[in-house]
Structure 1
Amino acid sequence: MKRLLTSVAFAALSFTAAHAQSEIDVMKEDPFLWLEEVEGERALDWVRAQNERSLAILEAHPAYDAMLAEAKAILTSDERVPGVSLRGGYAYNFWQDADHVRGLWRRMPQDAYLKGETEWEILMDLDKVAEDEGENWVYSGSSCLAPDYTRCLVTLSRGGSDAAVVREYDLSTKSFVEDGFYLPEAKSSTAWLDEDTILVGTDFGEGTLTDSGYPRQVKLWKRGQDLSEATLVHEIPQADIWAYPLSFWDGEKYRGGVFHGETFYDYNWLVLDGDTVKRLPLPKKASLSGYASGDYIIELKEPWEFGGETYEAGSVVALSDDMEEASLIIAPTAKMAVQGVSTSEDDVIVSLLDDIQGRVVRFEKSRRGWRGRDVRLPEGGVVGVQTVEPKTGALIVTYENPITPDTYYFVENRRPKEIRQAPAFFDADGMVVQRYEATSKDGTKIPYTIMAKKETLDGGPAPTIQYGYGGFEIPILPTYAATAGKLWAERGGVYVTTNIRGGGEYGPAWHQAGLKGNRQVIYDDFQAISEDMIERGITTKEQLGILGGSNGGLLMGVSMTQRPDLYKGVGIGVPLLDMLRYDKLLAGASWVGEYGDPDNPEERPFLEKISPYHNLRPDVDYPRPFFFTSTKDDRVHPGHARKMARLMEEYGHDFLYYENIEGGHGAAANLDQAARRLALQYAYFAGELGLIDYADEE
């Protein structure tokens, strides 16, 4: 029998660095630039040493083995509902389980799926392809040619990186097309125009990538042509962010175009017109979401004056094919935000957040304009549009909340038909979900949602994980928390999701309130929630941990350096931490619109103020953080986590560090790696926050 370690004993297994050194002025000279060499021998030696040290600590936790088994059981369960894409009479699914950790691409007739049948036609066994080709392939999606959907462009990455290979695949023969369309490893994007023609943006050679590392040219590529012979359609300045091809199927043909990102939020949308491209007359902050009933469907992120009308930011509007007329589909309210827009040949499907509660509305075009009808789904939870059948407009939508697994509905008109419910992966008996509001420094009310056993909350302050993101207009929704419920809440912990500014919970204004130099409100919001929970008696400073990844990793780093007194544990995943060099690393230049430009003398002072790497001090008592990242992450450079951890080491501060040598921005290349990351994460918090209510493990 393993003996339980008390939190004191577990904490004793900590890393003790050398005595703190004098403060390093990393603003003037960065002594750890060598850690930015992603696969440099010296850097990887340091990574391996940290992995070995940290894994010895984390895997020794008495709950780790059980957590690993639980996480793997959830991620690989045969009882999971296979999510699908509907097209051409088939339901398509990509499936991973214990026997197929890389995955199976498969399909069955749509009617069979709706009846709950389980016999799938295997289109591609990625585990076998990887083994046969000696490659660490990760499936990154496919695009199949309408209306038959037999020829597909399949994207495969090595180890989960954003850079990937694109290969043409024939579903009728279940094989790659000999001498078919093929793109070598790059950050590519493609769009079908017809069976023998695609639009492509990729690395065409010297000078064809932007400063952010994305394509700056879109070309028209004919079957049988060498890629070098493809015809240039559009080229953007190197200082802009990206040029991506796009196309929409209108029921008869593809309508092609180019998505030109000047910045991360300022766009030009161009459509092919013969041998030329025409720019849609849209404001820069707008997105082209589809094409339906002869109209381009637009999401506005700023007001738009057109045809004598003014359309509000947050609206969905339709622009006629001749670009002469516009009509309103739906306008926002103070508490309502558009979560997503999908189209079929005739309909527009809008998923909404109404004070963070989900709604789905189907819009149909009539002589009087677009008319919407709500899809009749349960209230008070999160709803999602899983797929829209391109021709018929049939939907599969889901409903869930933190303790209620997804229920799947098939919708042909307004009346949903329940077809499946996902299994319960944790015991929700006695679990409660409660929503609160904290007051930020400027008086803004900030919602958050907690999940825990009622007896946990009734018993007084408890170990709590507070999750946050706060950026890029991405809403953090209280969805079914399978792993958090099983690995954390079942054991007596509290799990919290936060709706801080910078996200998309209340539309563009909620996001834009925290852009660039206004970003401190995001951190104030997050810290206000922490203090609110302590005041309510939900947790204490000694029991409160925080968790976030990517932009959320930046949130973690800022929270730790600004308020080290407020937290006992900090999980910092695939983070941005050096905010004075982030724009020089991988895709970082594309995020200047979100964070600001370190080379701009008006924007740099704020970045200096918040940059975690530059605000770490040798004489401050910090919580022991857990950094986790991936060598193969080619979006957020692993150097961020490496350098911050190395500076903590230099200062004599305690930390834990794990870098997956593969795995991309998700920090895991397959389900086994994902399960391990989750087990490490929750074992870390259990040790730091004193969650010791476990059963003995054999």
Structure 2
Amino acid sequence: MAGPPQHNAAMTDPFLHLEAVDSPEALAWVRERNALTEAELTADPRYARIRAELLRVMNSPDRIPDVTRRGAFFYNFWRDEQHKRGLWRRTSFDDWRQPQPTWETVLDLDALGAAEGENWVWAGASALGPDYRRCLVHLSRGGADATVIREFDLVEKRFVEGGFALPEAKSDIEWIDENTVFVGTDFGPGSLTRSGYVRVIKRWKRGTPLDAAETVFEGDEEDVSVGVMVDRTPGWERTIFTRSLDFYREETWLELRVDGANPAAADDGAPAGVTGQAAGVTATKRASVSGLDVPAGRAPGRRVKLDLPDDASADFWERTLLVTLRSDWELADSRYLAGSLLAIDADAFLAGARDFTILFTPTDTRSLDDYDTTATHLLMTVLDNVAGRLEAWHRHDDGTWTRREIEAPHPGTLDLGSLHDPEIADDPFSERWLLDYTDFLTPDSLWLCSTANDERELLKRSPQWFDAEGMRVEQLFATSEDGTQVPYFVVWPKGATADGANPTLLYGYGGFEISLAPEYAPDRGLVWHKDGGVFVVANIRGGGEFGPEWHEAAVEEGKQASYDDFIAVAEDLIARGITSPRHLGIMGGSNGGLLVGAVMVQRPDLFNAVVCQVPLLDMKRYHLLLAGASWMAEYGNPDDPEHWEFIADYSPYHNVEPDAVYPRPLFTTSTRDDRVHPGHARKMAALMLSQGHDLLYFENTEGGHGGAADNEQHAHLGALEYVYLWQRLGRVLSAG
């Protein structure tokens, strides 16, 4: 059922003051709403038990420690009861594969925050190979996307005095060599895009002030961002600049380096037919590299724009160029389908060749999920009806390829990660990689694999947090308004039958080509399934479950398709007797928060609970708030009257009505969310309250777009949400 006619497009916004994130007036409103919500939900006898269960899972020492290889060490970031903000730590591979590894602390964020009086949240690190001594550590205040960057010595385990350092900003920084970096940050007026991301890349030398750094690449203010990546693979040194025109289109510029030389600033002597420039891209948007003589640009500093569709993604793997397509690509002798993965010799491509090897072609049910590379193999995970499959392509020395399927657990979700480091000579991990498997009822299992002999060794297994005996999972299909078959998963608790009274939580996202695949969730098992709750995941259009076309069907003027699909799944659940409107709740975050907000307004009769997390809701102003302008390729431009016509039809803030009867929603957001503005949730709640609707609202003062900054905050937020769901959807109010 399509959304109702839009009524409030011309409304004067009475709650603009709530967009002032840290204003005393706005924060006073937040504190008042938080106090009411917490008082009600924490008083429920289930709150303490649920919070304790969630915190037990999050702090458990039995979790699989995710690792990142840097040379001889494997690094992990870890939070637990004693280390609330976390430890950055490391161990050897042989030690990590043991049941109880011995960890060496590299950086203690709790101690650092206490010493500096800051609420630091870990945001990652990048180290310079192949010795991996120099490192750039990213620290976030309260979980925001913006970070402070500091140089760190991984041998002495301390920050480098006088080293590279950047103040808080949404920065991009990349090592060139030990004494030089590329840097994009807030250099002052005009240095950021309208979306608030990097517009200018500079080359910065150690010991010089940041304002003396030399500009080497620029985008336009209307772009989403620009970026840079340095490939230091011996013999294949390259620098790659990207200019994101919107969320799905980009230009890729290649600058080659030889014998470890730094990229030059000049682009003199480009062969005929090649256009390039050192300082930027503005004047060369239509540059082509067709006809370039080989070997292509084997002089330091030569920069060319790759002649690819602007919605294709390019990736270099030594001598190979890998291209992922988002739309069909028509060439003189060939047609390559959207969703395909192509490979070609990079120098031959730059010389004009287009005889690609097709490594993956999508079908109606199969899409490319991810890929990674060892020294001689490309490994890929494929979604087949939203369940993972594994394939490997062997790249031979003569340039030919051989494909084979790799046996892996099924049906569920497969994640792979290569351990190969191309910067390390005679790398002992050249053909070794990690494979993780999970599904709704199976905890994560982690294997060490080898493409050399296809051996697979079980390294780690997560605990079985809840009793899955008697539980079952089925994949069903709902028919959307236009006839599209929409798959969804139903996770049944033990003993549940289709009696129409099951407390049921329906989850969705439906945007940005992001797939929702099966995963094991200990928290959900312990505090939802254990007490009889059904969980449903809807694989609606707008996601990536079936490739680019599945996503493209629900962008801009087609966005309503996501909401129609979600509504169709809800109606199907009710028609099958799995649940009923009294017992059906919905949950979604970010774009998923927009999803559940729109569906709540369009079909309030279907639901009795709505958990709307860090949402977009005011679609008239979303592009003016924080990173919102970067998403116009997904939603459209509300300043364009033709676009606003279809956006206004679903914008929750402009369609909520005082005379309608809505389920009592719970809105959650974060004051420190600098991606999706907390004003969306604030204003929607304030408007509904002014219309006489009842609701709950909770805004964490930390947490960024993730909603919480440490395990205790996550457990508190999760307990509030689950208590709310049980109060609204449960058969009988009980202390459990």
**Class of the TM-score when normalised by the shorter of the 2 chains:** over 0.9
The superposition leaves residues 382-411 of structure 1 with CA deviations (integer Å, 9 ceiling, x where unpaired) of 111145432414211111110110010111
Equivalent residue in structure 1 for 2:548, among 485, 496, 508? 508
Secondary structure of the residue that 1:162 maps to in structure 2?
coil
Select 2:122's aligned residue among 123, 139, 152. 139
State how far apart, in whole Å, the 1-side matches of 2:500 and 2:576 are.
10
Q: CA deviation at 1:693?
A: 6.8
2:322 matched to which residue of 1? 297
Deviation at 1:256, TM superposition (A): 1.7
Secondary structure (helix, strand or coil) at the match of 1:593 reads helix
**TM-score w.r.t. length of structure 2:** 0.89
Among 238, 249, 254, the alignment partner of 2:232 is: 249
- Residue 682 of structure 2 is matched in structure 1 by 642
Change (3 A) 1:499 1:247: same
Task: Give yes or no for contact 1:292–1:347 (8 Å, CA) kept in 2.
Answer: no
- Provide TM-score, normalisation by structure 1: 0.94
CA contact (8 A) 2:498 2:577 kept: no
CA-CA distance at 1:293 after TM superposition: 3.5
Structure 2: distance between partners of 1:443 and 1:416? 43
Match of 1:107 among 75, 83, 90: 90
Larger strand proportion, structure 1 or 2? 1
3-state SS of paired residue (1:317): strand
Q: Does 1:410 align with 2:448?
A: yes
Q: Kindly indicate whether residue 33 of structure 2 is the aligned counterpart of residue 50 of structure 1.
A: yes
Q: 1:678 aligns with which of 697, 706, 718?
A: 718
Structure 1 position 62, deviation (Å)? 2.0
Within-5 A mapping of 1:183-332: 183-251=166-234, 254-273=237-256, 274-275=264-265, 276=278, 277-288=303-314, 290-305=315-330, 308-322=333-347, 323-324=350-351, 325=353, 326-332=356-362
Cα distance, 1:695 vs. partner? 5.3
Pairing partner for 2:568 from 518, 528, 535: 528
Displacement of 1:346 in angstroms is: 3.9
Once the two structures are superposed, residues 445-485 of structure 1 have per-residue CA deviations (whole angstroms, 9 ceiling, x without a partner) of: 11111112231236653010000000000001111121111
C-alpha separation in 1, matches of 2:546 and 2:419 = 25
* Distance change (3 Å), C-alpha of 1:501 and 1:334: same
Secondary structure at 2:203 match in 1:
strand
Q: In structure 2, what is the Cα distance between the partners aligned to 1:594 and 1:620?
A: 29
Which whole-Å CA distance do the structure 1 matches of 2:150 and 2:44 have between them? 44
Which residue of the other structure, out of 651, 659, 668, is the alignment partner of 1:611? Answer: 651
Matching residue's letter, 1:364: H
The one-letter code of the counterpart of 2:438 is: E
**CA distance in 2: counterparts of 1:389 and 1:120, whole angstroms:** 22
The answer as to whether partners of 2:627 and 2:674 remain within 8 angstroms in 1 is: yes
2:492 alignment counterpart: 452
Query: After superposition, what is the alpha-carbon deviation per residue over 1:179-217, rounded to whole angstroms, capped at 9, x for unaligned?
Result: 111111100011222222221111111110111111111
Q: State the AA in 2 paired with 1:411.
A: C
Structure 1 pair 440–335 and aligned structure 2 pair: CA distance change class (3 A): same
Contact 1:394–1:411 under 8 Å retained in 2: yes
- 1:245 Cα deviation (Å)? 1.6
When the two chains are superposed, the root-mean-square deviation of aligned CA atoms in Å is 1.7
Q: 1:99 to 1:336 in 2, by over 3 A?
A: same
1:30 & 1:287 partners in 2: Cα distance?
A: 40
Distance 1:197 1:328, change over 3 A: farther
What is the percentage of aligned positions where both structures have the same residue? 44
Per the alignment, in what secondary structure is the counterpart of residue 11 of structure 2? coil
The aligned residue for residue 375 of structure 1 is 406
Q: Deviations over 1:402-429 (max 9, x none)?
A: 0110010111123321111111222212
691 and 481 in structure 1: CA distance in 2 versus 1, 3 angstrom threshold: farther
Distance (Å, rounded) in 2 between the aligned partners of 1:381 and 1:409: 15
Question: Can you list the C-alpha shifts for 1:331-389, whole angstroms capped at 9, x where unaligned?
Answer: 22221111112234543222211111112323221225232333321121111114543
Mapped contact 1:215–1:242 kept (Cα < 8 A): yes
2: CA distance, partners of 1:627 / 1:369: 54
Gaps of 5+ in 2: 1-5, 257-263, 266-277, 279-302, 423-429
Q: Given residue 300 of structure 1, which amino acid in structure 2 is its aligned partner?
A: L
Cα pair 2:253 2:304 within 8 Å, conserved: yes
**Structure 2 residue aligned with 1:9:** none
Instruction: Select 2:479's aligned residue among 425, 439, 455.
Output: 439
How far has the Cα of 1:234 moved from its partner? 1.0
Q: Take 1:341 and 1:120, find their aligned partners in 2: how far apart are those partners? A: 30
Q: Which amino acid aligns with 1:153?
A: L
Residue 241 of structure 1 aligns with an amino acid whose one-letter code is V
Q: Does the Cα contact within 8 Å between 1:452 and 1:495 map onto a contact in 2?
A: yes
Q: Which has the larger displacement, 351-360 or 298-307?
A: 298-307
Shift of 1:90: 2.4
Look up the equivalent residue of 2:511 and give its one-letter code.
G
Q: Which runs of 5+ in 1 are unaligned?
A: 1-22
Q: Deviations over 1:210-229 (max 9, x none)?
A: 11111111111222221111
1:59 paired residue among 34, 39, 42: 42
1:633 matched to 2:673: yes
Could you tell me whether the CA contact under 8 Å between 2:494 and 2:532 is conserved in 1? Answer: no
SS at match of 1:77: coil
Please tell me whether residue 590 in structure 1 is matched to residue 615 in structure 2.
no
1:24-103 maps to which residues of 2 (within 5 A)? 25=8, 27-103=10-86
SS of 1:92's equivalent in the other structure is strand
1:116 pairs with 2:154? no
Instruction: Supply the AA of the counterpart residue of 2:629.
Output: A
Output the amino acid matched with 1:292: W
Q: In structure 1, the residue corresponding to 2:648 is in which secondary structure?
A: helix
Give me the whole-angstrom Cα distance separating, in 1, the residues matched to 2:644 and 2:9. Answer: 15
**Counterpart pick for 1:334 among 355, 358, 364:** 364
2:420 aligned to which of 389, 398, 402: 389
Matches within 5 A, 1:122-201: 122-201=105-184
Does structure 1 retain, via aligned residues, the 8 Å contact 2:727–2:733? no
Q: Is the 8 A contact 2:372 2:380 kept in 1?
A: yes
Q: 1:583: Cα distance to partner?
A: 0.3
Q: 1:569 to 1:141 in 2, by over 3 A?
A: same
1:605-627 Cα distance to aligned partner (Å, 9 max, x none): 01111000000100001000000
After superposition, the Cα gap between the structure-2 partners of 1:658 and 1:576, relative to the gap in structure 1 and judged at 3 Å, is: same
1:398 aligned to 2:424?
no
Q: Distance in 1 between matches of 2:240 and 2:210?
A: 19
Q: Does 1:478 align with 2:518?
A: yes
Q: Which region of structure 1 is more displaced relative to structure 2, 61-70 or 334-343?
A: 334-343
Is this contact kept in 2: 1:377–1:416, CA < 8 A?
no
Q: Which moved more, 1:303-312 or 1:239-248?
A: 303-312
**8 Å contact from structure 1 (residues 467, 496) kept in 2:** yes
Whole-angstrom distance in 1 between the partners of 2:237 and 2:526: 46
Distance 2:361 2:56 in 1: 43
* Larger mean Cα displacement after TM superposition, 636-645 or 478-487: 478-487
- Of stretches 378-387 and 495-504 in structure 1, the one that deviates more from structure 2 is 378-387
Measured after TM superposition, the shift of residue 252 of structure 1 is 5.3
